[in-house]
């Protein structure tokens, strides 16, 4: 589609309108109705990726269900409908964190894989789809079995594409990303080194001008930054920043992927500031985070993360400069982010903690007990909603003590501890 290259909303809206008109010309019973349902649903999904508008995704899921019903067991296009519905449910899970959507997606992908025996040309894609969804469930539940199965499936998919095959690059990237996830959980350096090697192999398959080069640059950069966090090797971080800059240049103003590229570069620059203390890195990171936030309007699924990133970077600058305005803005942004996570959302605990820490920091500066009281309240709610309480409590206590060390008298610390444990 032209929209995928240009990022122009008008092109996409026109395409959706055309798919809607085509569906109306194929009423119930028409032999091509399932194809029209699928096309319309897929276009709505793509617009959701750009706009974050939940109604587009809900409609797409409904249309994919209708298409699947028209493709019963034995129908040649049933596997495609199973995968399409599963992918859309996984997408909705990422926005809403509804576990039922994710479990259904995995079940549908398993059904699709059974339709592709060994040697079938579409088996590799089905293996990858199931693996990606298992990785998503691992990220929510932390179940190592899901991640190990995903890595095994990605290896099986990669074996189906020998060196030089056009689809080998995506399999290299998928396996690399899963290995990096496992490194984050286990700390096994071999997983991360293999991931970086695989990302380099994938990047070599995307020469200048290739549509996938930008994402490959970003993937390699993120893995190198991860290794820097473990090893402290300056060269890894410097290369990561250079790669992020190269990726950003491939996303001009208006492109749907520019926002994530801005955020990635900002995070890497903030990391370098923490290492070097160079103010220019931090100021540039804040500017980039502001640019990224502007690209996530109210209702966009990524807005909460963007708010949190900008807030945390402003808080870092406050620690360095003591500028009250930075901390006040950080608190305001954390409040906005928290409003996007209702009670029960998997990310609410982290958002509560971020706001509590910023308020504790302000109390440490001003001595305003209203900030301390709210800190205690948020701290208590965050602990009560966190599945693994004790490691989390130790981490938050350490942060709170650091934020307020100069100003909280002993009885206030005891109050935090008592109320925190509730």
CA separation for the pair 114, 312 (Å, rounded): 46
Of 73, 45, 141, residue with least CA distance to 133: 141
- For residue 222, CA distances in Å to 216, 234, 265, 401 come to 10, 14, 10, 31
**Tens of pLDDT, residue by residue, the chain (422 residues):** 444 444 456 667 777 877 776 776 677 768 778 787 878 888 888 888 777 788 889 989 988 888 887 887 877 788 888 988 998 998 888 888 888 999 999 999 999 998 888 888 889 889 999 999 999 899 888 889 999 999 999 999 999 988 888 889 999 999 999 999 999 989 999 999 999 999 999 999 988 988 889 999 999 999 999 999 999 999 999 999 999 999 999 988 888 889 999 999 999 999 999 999 999 999 999 999 999 999 988 888 889 999 999 999 999 999 999 999 999 999 999 999 999 988 888 788 889 999 999 999 999 888 899 999 999 999 888 877 754 444 444 454 455 545 544 444 443 434 433 333 33
Which residues have a Cβ under 8 Å from the Cβ of 47 and sit 6 or more positions away?
12, 13, 16, 53, 56
Q: How far is CA 319 from CA 174, 314, 330, 365, in A?
A: 38, 9, 12, 10
Q: Please report which residue ranges of 160-211 form alpha helices under DSSP H.
A: 168-186, 189-204
Both structure tokens of 222: 């993120």
Structure tokens at 74: 């034995």
- The torsion region of residue 124 among left (phi > 0), alpha (psi -120 to 50) and beta comes to alpha
12 within 8 A of 1, measured Cβ to Cβ: yes
CA distance 134 to 259: 26
Closest CA to 246 of 276, 273, 216, 205: 216
Question: From residue 325, how far is each of 317, 320, 338 by CA, in Å?
Answer: 10, 13, 20
Domains of the chain: 1-93 (1.25.40.10), 315-422 (1.25.40)
| Cβ atoms of 408 and 367 closer than 8 Å | no
């Amino acid at each position: 589609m032209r929209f995928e290259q240009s990022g122009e909303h008008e092109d996409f809206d026109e395409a959706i309108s055309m798919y809607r008109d085509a569906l109306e010309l194929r009423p119930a019973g028409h032999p091509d109705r399932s194809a029209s349902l699928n096309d319309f649903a897929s276009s709505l999904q793509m617009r959701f990726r750009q706009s974050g508008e939940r109604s587009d995704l809900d409609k797409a899921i409904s249309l994919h269900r209708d298409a699947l019903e028209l493709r019963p067991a034995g129908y040649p296009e049933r596997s495609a409908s199973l995968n399409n519905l599963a992918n859309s449910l996984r997408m909705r899970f990422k926005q809403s964190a509804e576990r039922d959507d994710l479990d259904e997606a995995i079940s549908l992908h398993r059904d699709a894989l059974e339709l592709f025996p060994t040697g079938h040309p579409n088996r590799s894609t089905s293996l990858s789809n199931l693996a990606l969804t298992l990785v998503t469930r691992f990220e929510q539940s932390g179940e190592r079995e899901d991640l190990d199965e995903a890595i095994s499936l990605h290896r099986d998919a990669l074996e189906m594409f020998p060196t030089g095959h056009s689809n080998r690059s995506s399999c290299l990237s998928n396996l690399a990303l899963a290995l990096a996830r496992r490194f984050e959980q286990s700390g096994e350096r071999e997983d991360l080194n293999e991931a970086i090697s695989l990302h380099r192999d994938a990047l070599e398959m995307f020469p200048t001008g290739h549509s996938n080069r930008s994402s490959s640059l970003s993937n390699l950069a993120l893995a190198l930054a991860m290794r820097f966090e473990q090893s402290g090797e300056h060269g890894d971080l410097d290369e990561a920043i250079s790669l992020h800059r190269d990726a950003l240049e491939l996303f001009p103003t208006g492109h749907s992927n520019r926002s994530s590229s801005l955020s990635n570069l900002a995070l890497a620059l903030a990391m370098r500031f923490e290492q070097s203390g160079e103010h220019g890195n931090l100021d540039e990171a804040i500017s980039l985070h502001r640019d990224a936030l502007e690209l996530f309007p109210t209702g966009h699924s990524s807005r909460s993360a963007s708010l949190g990133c900008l807030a945390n970077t402003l808080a870092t600058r406050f620690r360095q400069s003591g500028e009250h305005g930075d901390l006040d803005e950080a608190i305001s942004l954390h409040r906005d982010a928290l409003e996007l996570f209702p009670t029960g959302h998997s990310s609410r605990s982290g958002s509560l903690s971020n706001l509590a820490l910023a308020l504790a920091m302000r109390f440490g500066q001003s001595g305003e007990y209203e900030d301390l009281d709210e800190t205690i309240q948020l701290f208590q709610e965050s602990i009560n909603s966190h599945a693994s309480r004790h490691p989390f409590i130790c981490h938050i206590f350490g942060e709170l003590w650091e934020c307020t060390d100069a100003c909280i008298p002993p009885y206030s610390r005891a109050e935090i501890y008592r109320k925190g444990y509730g």
